[in-house]
Amino acid sequence: MPSIRDAVVVGAGPNGLTAAVELARRGFSVELFEALDTVGGGARTEELTLPGFRHDPCSAVHPLGVNSPAFRDMPLARHGLEWLESDLAMAHPFPDGTAAVLARSVGETAASLGSRDAGAYRRLVAPLLPRWDTLAADFLGLGSALNGRLPSAPFDLARFGMAGLQPAAWLSRRFRDEKARALVAGMAGHVIAPTTTFATGGIALVFALAAHARGWPVPRGGSQSVSDALAAYLRELGGVIHTGSEVKRLDELPPARAYVFDTSPTALARIAGLGHAYAGYTYGAGAFKIDYALDGPVPWTSPEARRATTVHVGHTAGMIDDALRRATRGQDPERPFLITAQPGLVDPSRAPEGRQVFWVYGHVPNGWDGDATEVVEEQLERFAPGFRDRVLARATAGPPELAARNANYVGGDIACGSAAGLQLLLRPKLARVPYATAHPAVYLCSSATPPGPGVHGMSGHHAARAVWRRLALGR
């Protein structure tokens, strides 16, 4: 390392690792500091319950990762990343044993919604699907438009925006029956906000198009494989990684021409002495996460749910909206909307033979310190009777445990910032370059910046772009 590094990155989540890689591959010297003993942030894998059961404590399923222009431009497969896809990307079962599904094929998905809505679904996604790659680049590149690069297909983006800027609840009005409405609400529910929130229709559309284009895969070996591949590539490029190094003050770090923070805006303000720069930034509802070791597959009543790596559990669009609304209003969960994943369907390396890992989370108020295990399992039993009999062990984490696991999950908010108001799009605040800060050498690259939460590395990519433009000026 030179005595003055070009860039120091703080935090080895997907965005911090991506920012470090993007700078290193352009010839800049990069050193990265991570608080925990392993890299990964929200993309890690651990034996949380019993020996041989490899759980993802945070992210598990990667529709955004496999479609990320940043990841697709890196040789991550050479560093061990392999995407595995199930027969169905997602199933949304109903109490009568039927299910709406999200398949690779638009036709199969449309057919699962019933004859009254099949045509409306086709008309919604079919025109956009052939343009998905440029749309994905433009959608995930929202930050770069603010960073001096215009969308490559503005007409397509505008067409997407006409449906996508609507709340999911409005988008659902084009459907007549509950199956399609519940499917849309479940996809929008990945944003932890009521389905009447601005632009949640766009989130549902992105998840649907991503499934039809490349599926919703899981990485072989778990989400840690994404982080390990990024870290291996960074080292190959000459980058240096220090783990077990929590950064508390800017002046603890080695001298550098730029500092890039994969942290919450609040932590950045504290560490870099930025005062009240992000005082208006708000955090959203939290998650209650359970990782299960099971003695066999989940006994779903719906045959489709037994074939899908992701299963959404919440009867109707109204019930999903109610569960999200309760969490954002500060009320205890009653019938939580559950996002669940069963990566063992496609990856036998995750558990001893015949056994399964099972991943579940629901939504709870920010900072909530109750135990949601009972309401989560009651909800699972409605769709998979006998589920509890399969449980060998469980590891639970509510907001306090999630926040202790990762400083970015403020109050258990796994999105590192609320999606309320315009904050889903304008993060951390309205600015031409949202990655820049009041300190000319300090940048923010976490999911608190556009395009927001998810394992896609695009916030890191855009922040790195702002940094390399500045560093190149000084060369």
Ligand X SMILES: Cc1cc2nc3c(=O)[nH]c(=O)nc-3n(C[C@H](O)[C@H](O)[C@H](O)COP(=O)(O)OP(=O)(O)OC[C@H]3O[C@@H](n4cnc5c(N)ncnc54)[C@H](O)[C@@H]3O)c2cc1C
Vertex 281 angle, CA 276 and 283, to 5°: 130
φ and ψ at 105, to 5 degrees?
-85, 130
Selected from 361, 368, 387, 468, the binder of ligand X by CB under 6 A is 361
- Answer for the pair 117, 331: CB distance below 8 angstroms, yes or no: no
Distance CA 203, CA 191 (A): 7
Which residue number, 246 or 369, has a Cβ lying nearer to ligand X?
A: 246
- Closer CB to ligand X, 408 or 423, in the complex: 408
CB 355 within 8 A of CB 294: yes
Q: Per rule CB under 6 A, is residue 312 in the interface with ligand X?
A: no
> Are the beta carbons of 390 and 296 closer than 8 angstroms?
yes
Beta bridge partners of 32: 9, 241
What minimum distance in Å lies between the beta carbon of 271 and ligand X? 6
Is 125 an interacting residue with respect to ligand X (CB under 6 A)?
no
Residue 319 makes contact with ligand X by CB under 6 A: no
What is the rounded CA–CA span in Å between residue 431 and residue 277?
A: 12
The C-alpha atoms of residue 462 and residue 450 are separated, in whole angstroms, by 8
Q: Between 34 and 117, whose beta carbon lies closer to ligand X?
A: 34
CB of 119 to ligand X, least distance (A): 31
**Footprint on residues 263-292 left by ligand X (CB under 6 A):** 263, 267, 287, 289
Q: Give how many residues touch ligand X by CB under 6 A.
A: 38
Q: Which is nearer to ligand X, 178 or 186 (CB)?
A: 186
Inter-CA distances, 280 with 90, 198, 427, 428, 449, Å? 36, 19, 11, 9, 14
Query: Measured between alpha carbons, how far is residue 455 from residues 218, 248, 356, 366, 445 in Å?
Result: 12, 25, 23, 22, 13
Q: Which of residues 408-467 bind ligand X (CB under 6 A)?
A: 408, 414, 446-447, 453-455
- Between 35 and 420, name the residue whose CB sits nearer to ligand X: 35
**C-beta closer to ligand X: residue 113 or 247:** 247
Question: Is residue 11 a contact point for ligand X (CB under 6 A)?
Answer: yes
Report helix, strand or coil for 449: coil
Q: Which residue is nearest to ligand X (CB)?
A: 13
Binding mask 38-57 for ligand X (x = CB under 6 A): ---xxx--------------
Question: What CA–CA distance (Å, rounded) separates 59 from 43?
Answer: 6
> Is residue 197 near ligand X by the rule CB under 6 A?
no
Taking the least distance from each CB to ligand X, the nearer of 151 and 454 is: 454
Q: Does 59 bind ligand X (CB under 6 A)?
A: yes
Which residues lie near ligand X (CB under 6 A)?
10-16, 33-36, 41-43, 58-62, 64, 246-247, 262-263, 267, 287, 289, 361, 402, 406-408, 414, 446-447, 453-455
